[in-house]
Structure 1
């Protein structure tokens, strides 16, 4: 398997950044333990291998788990700044758990009065803390607030929770400021580790996007004031742009079924949809069959990276070609005459001696692609539903460039089918409502009755899913047939020149990002939060028309003076790459779709740019419809599972056992010492002296080295049980 060595991959950039910060605090000849909180533990498990970590430290320990005293080690604390984590560090100091402490703390860039007071008045003034961190000389602040999912994709944190209720449910309004700050911190993390200071644009029709843009600009400016090596030195690369939108930019995208390999696998394969793990039976060269559970979203998997954005038909053809090449290149090891079907090819590959990794991966993807095709056939997604969906998005124009005047009748026929899932029928009704620009409530009720649910469920469908669309800026239900259709601007487009009639839709975000790079994006609809480029910095098309474009609100603009900060710094970061390709960052508040994720990769190739995309989560159609239910006025804060709320309500004090001092070991029964050399070495370690002037290599047989990187201890606080609604249209 080929390792992903892309220097512009967010995974590689964040990994190298964390490595560099750990190395900077280490001294030759000393031993270190890395102490992390649960968020950082999840991050490093995802982007750093255990072997890589154990080259730097002897162990990785959770900050709030029971830990034995190891006074010969120095602790490196990599954790988020919170009262709880600071209390846990205090417990280490009071119990003399480690010899010395080094803080690599992830600060809250937004204001937090409780945390600031505790940190400045209780933590830093503690005499033992002053000694432990050598009067703050050993405390540094790092950027680890975003979670890279792929080379060009990141989320705010590993929980990947649906944020739609936070932004659009008025009952959760008190959580919005906290969520905005978390998003801004993640965005600051992204631009800092990639070495950029971007122009910021936002979707003017979205209050959420405006708030995030303001908070991000404020946090980034504060970061620049506190760090003399930021912003980075000026290069010949065009200054980057950050575009902030929310889910309302494109409401078709989260409802459409995608027919690319990645989207289909994550949407319709049950184990991947519910658990994020693919379960299948694998056969080795001896004919032994075993059940395998694997995460397929792996940047180091060459086949996955090659196939994930292909249409499922193309992916199937490519993987068969890959298998044929594998067999063709090893003719002496197989009997090709036995291959009559694609399943026979898998049997041959399974018995191909050697090539374990390559054989495993091609077999995995062949099985998964076949399952995607099978599930598609069972749900009739491509056969019946897809053409209707695409025609609605095309304003009634078919793949043959003809207007379909009978879409309503087509919808009734689809809703009456017994082989379509209820979830898919609900999607079709919502897509039809968007195409029509809204319908009266009675029409939605009639359509819902065709879906195949009882009257109570029809009522809930209308009240929860259809009515709640208005909270995303599109009133789907009209009070009268005479009312005007929604005048919400649509940014998506249709491509009838492609090969597949199931994939004509081009998402709104992709079109908007294209206009960002060409300078044709309206400043009225997507204003700059503060400064805009000088005319000689604009793409030619924008410079020619800049005098006629409408600027954003004057309150968010400053005089257009060329920035001079770039010439003030001479500090270089090892993660900064000497490339001239402009970087475009996109953030979609409320969840991005797999089609939007794919667009980031496509635009990077098509426009010769580096395009990155982020959000709180990746939305599948079912997730979006669940989100529509959760924004309902009848859903209170305690009826929605929100990791953010659990975090805010989490404990402030460290667990009591953290302050317990273990009893010293009982003296040996005999005074004889069978191994005086070992005893002498232990005494030197206990006194903190180094054994050698050379860098210490962890002894993987020692207890310290073998400390589990995946501790079994769960969270110390259990979230309160949530009330369950009596009826759910979509199961969570």
Structure 2
């Protein structure tokens, strides 16, 4: 169960099936993302693919000496564009691969357009999703919920993406869904309809224990996307935003031109692969070790104690930069994370967030929030997330001071649009919206604070929060997941411990949840879990999701005073 491998094998097969000779890879906006996530351009070049083109680009050159591998989503627009292309072909031969099921009617249209008989192959290869990590996928779909139900087109696109994941992993699963969510029920039923309609595609070798597809709703756990993160991949997404493995660093002070956009891909970057789930303090130490190794080789005496020292070191030793572009990239990224953590008091903010999520000392927590809100270094964004967490945690508390906190946000210059997001959050993920007891999962007495070692061994409170999905999957594996809360669709039920589980979160998942799945996979031999979501959230994207879901005015990214990045 490895989504990166599944997509990679499809692309390799496309290229191999077209035989030897020079090739062009013709894609659309979506499939370009699918391919770029699993293959580096240099890898594809080695397979004689010398040109990458977009079907929707006009004015492409005619190159009859090239074979064309077309990898496209089976959308109406793509079928029309490809018909136009085949009437006046730009390439010698065409091998056409659709990323999902295509109708017989559309195949007929293509056949009629192929007057010159240049099409050699038409196939369905189910790579209709973004493979992010081996056990994590996304559909890159935001705002799937409008007025607390499926947005037009979002349900169909989600069904297509999810069934394509199942087909690429060769799984015909039993389906369970979150009973408190009408959206989860509708998605479960729609996926079941496709499995029944395309029964021949889903005829895989029967395993002793049937795989499980578990469909959840983001509204059941609105806390996880509100928290600041401390493992590398999650932290980069929270503070810098990852978009199809790309990070825009253009606004970083003093950034060099070659580092304004960097790619972080575990497939092509060993340091990232080894450190994506590692906490922030350790990453600093790991980079430091690499530096020290180089210093020994170069006989350099420069002191490398802090992230700033590292940056200076990389700049002063061009041969080091050459030897390891990877390291200079990570020094830049970690350096920027470090700057943001320091200048915005994120350690203190995060500690308070964790206490709101996991402990129940109302008056102590309220004082801490007020203290941080009076600190000008704390970003308005972080004030808002603390108030939202407080709103969820103490929704029915007798001494709830939510109106006082919202008023403080007003005094801090946050616009009405942003302040209204606190109520929107309660409508989206408050007690009435949830099927689970979100705060009952944590036993305050059993919490042991974990620590994070900083670069010089400074200890900071790290993380106590575990996402709800962790306990749901744990119960599923142990056979204890309540059927009343997560019913099966259809009559059959699982008698044995599940081995293959695909978990899908409507409304988006997070990198913190991906980390939880990673740790379940590592600690539970014989069980393989893959997590997916309509998108992968950080706090900003989650705000947009909520505002669309409850019909609130979508806040612009300007947050009033004090919003320096």
| Higher mean C-alpha deviation, range 66-75 or range 435-444 | 435-444
Q: Is 1:123 aligned to residue 109 of structure 2?
A: yes
Structure 2 partner of 1:180: 155
* 3-state secondary structure, aligned to 1:522: coil
Cα pair 1:316 1:369 within 8 Å, conserved:
yes
Deviations 1:377-428 (A, max 9, x none): 2211212x233222222241xxxxxx56433333333333332222211111
Question: Could you tell me which residue of structure 1 aligns to residue 448 of structure 2?
Answer: 497
Do structure 1's residue 512 and structure 2's residue 481 form an aligned pair? no
Superposed, 1:429-444 pairs within 5 Å as 429-438=387-396, 443-444=401-402
Distance 1:31 1:431, change over 3 A: closer
Establish whether residue 372 from structure 1 lines up as the match of residue 337 from structure 2. yes
Deviations 1:147-203 (A, max 9, x none): 1122221111xxx3432xx31436xx6x63521221222222222222222222111
TM-score normalized by the length of structure 1:
0.66
Taking the aligned partners of 2:242 and 2:467, their CA distance within structure 1 comes to 27
Aligned to 2:501, which of 584, 607, 622?
584
Match of 1:49 in 2: 40
CA contact (8 A) 2:435 2:485 kept: no
Distance (whole Å) between structure 2 residues aligned to residue 593 and residue 263 of structure 1: 8
Q: 2: CA distance between counterparts of 1:191 and 1:592? A: 18
CA distance in 2, matches of 1:73, 1:430: 56
2:55 corresponds, among 51, 56, 63, to 63
Per the alignment, do residues 531 and 211 of structure 1 end up closer, same or farther by CA in structure 2, a change over 3 Å counting?
Answer: same
- Superposition map of 1:36-185 within 5 A: 36-54=27-45, 55-57=47-49, 59-64=51-56, 65-71=58-64, 73-108=66-101, 119=106, 123=109, 126=112, 128-129=113-114, 132=117, 138-156=121-139, 160-163=140-143, 166-169=144-147, 176=151, 178-185=153-160
Alignment partner of 1:295 is 2:262 = yes
Q: In structure 1, what is the Cα distance between the partners aligned to 2:558 and 2:258?
A: 36
Partner of 1:470: 427
Q: Is the 8 A contact 2:24 2:51 kept in 1?
A: yes
CA distance in 2, matches of 1:408, 1:205: 31
Greater alpha carbon shift after TM alignment, 586-595 vs 618-627: 618-627
CA contact (8 A) 2:184 2:216 kept: yes
- Cα distance in 1 for partners of 2:414, 2:274 equals 47
Partners in 2 of 1:15 and 1:325 — Cα distance?
34
| DSSP-derived class of the 1:224 partner | coil
Q: CA 1:415–1:454 in 2, change beyond 3 Å: closer, same or farther?
A: closer
The whole-number CA distance in structure 2 between the counterparts of 1:306 and 1:132 is: 49
Provide the residue aligned with 1:425 in structure 2.
Answer: 383
Could you tell me which residue of structure 1 aligns to residue 374 of structure 2? 416
Shift of 1:253: 0.7
Q: Which residue number in structure 1 is paired with residue 544 of structure 2?
A: 626
CA distance in 1 between counterparts of 2:435 and 2:179 reads 15
Match among 180, 193, 214 for residue 168 of structure 2: 193
Displacement after TM superposition at 1:505 (Å): 0.7
Deviation at 1:31, TM superposition (A): 5.7
Deviation (angstroms), 1:605: 0.7
Alpha-carbon shift at residue 525 of structure 1 (Å): 1.0
Structure-2-length-normalised TM-score: 0.84
Q: 1:282 to 1:220 in 2, by over 3 A?
A: farther
Q: Find the counterpart in structure 1 of residue 531 from structure 2.
A: 613
In 1, distance between residues paired with 2:235 and 2:89?
Answer: 53
Is the 1:449–1:455 contact (alpha carbons within 8 Å) kept by the matching residues of 2?
A: no
- Paired with 1:273 and 1:428, the residues of 2 have a C-alpha distance of 28
Q: Secondary structure of the residue that 1:411 maps to in structure 2?
A: helix
- Distance in 2 of aligned mates of 1:531 and 1:490: 29
- Larger RCO (CA within 8 A; separation ≥ 6): 1
Deviation (angstroms), 1:143: 0.9
Is the 1:202–1:210 contact (alpha carbons within 8 Å) kept by the matching residues of 2? yes
SS in 2 for 1:317: helix
Tell me how far apart the structure 1 counterparts of residues 383 and 274 of structure 2 sit (CA, whole Å). Answer: 32
Deviation, structure 1 residue 440: 9.6
Give the structure 1 partner of residue 454 of structure 2. Answer: none
Q: Give the C-alpha shift of residue 84 in structure 1.
A: 2.2
Gaps of 5+ in 1: 1-7, 110-115, 284-288, 397-402, 477-485, 540-581, 641-723
Partner of 2:288: 320
Shift of 1:446: 2.4
CA deviation after TM superposition for structure 1 residue 49, in Å? 3.2
> Is structure 2 residue 189 aligned with structure 1 residue 214?
yes
Q: How does 1:650-669 map to 2 (within 5 A)?
A: none
RMSD: 3.8
In structure 2, the CA distance between the partners of 1:367 and 1:467, relative to structure 1 (3 Å rule), is closer
Residues 240 and 248, structure 2, Cα contact 8 Å, conserved in 1: no
> Alignment partner of 2:330: what SS?
helix
Aligned to 2:455: none
Q: CA deviation at 1:45?
A: 3.1
Paired positions, count: 545
Deviations 1:347-372 (A, max 9, x none): 55666686656633333333432432
Task: Name the CA shift for 1:381/1:421 in 2 (closer, same or farther; >3 Å).
Answer: same
Please point out which of 23, 35, 38 is paired with 2:16.
Answer: 23
Bigger CA radius of gyration: 1
Deviation of 1:504 (Å): 0.6
Distance 1:269 1:468 in 2: 23
Match of 1:389 in 2: 353
The whole-number CA distance in structure 1 between the counterparts of 2:237 and 2:91 is 44
CA pair 514-357 structure 1, distance change in 2 beyond 3 A: farther
Cα distance in structure 1, aligned partners of 2:220 and 2:409: 28
- Given that 1:78 and 1:104 are in contact with CA atoms closer than 8 Å, whether structure 2 keeps it comes out as yes
Report the equivalent of 1:565: none
Structure 2 residues without counterparts, runs of 5 or longer? 452-460
Looking at structure 1, the residues matched to 80 and 109 of structure 2 have their Cα atoms a distance apart, in angstroms, of 8
Note the alpha carbon deviations across 1:231-256, whole angstroms, 9 max, x for none: 332457x4322211111121211111
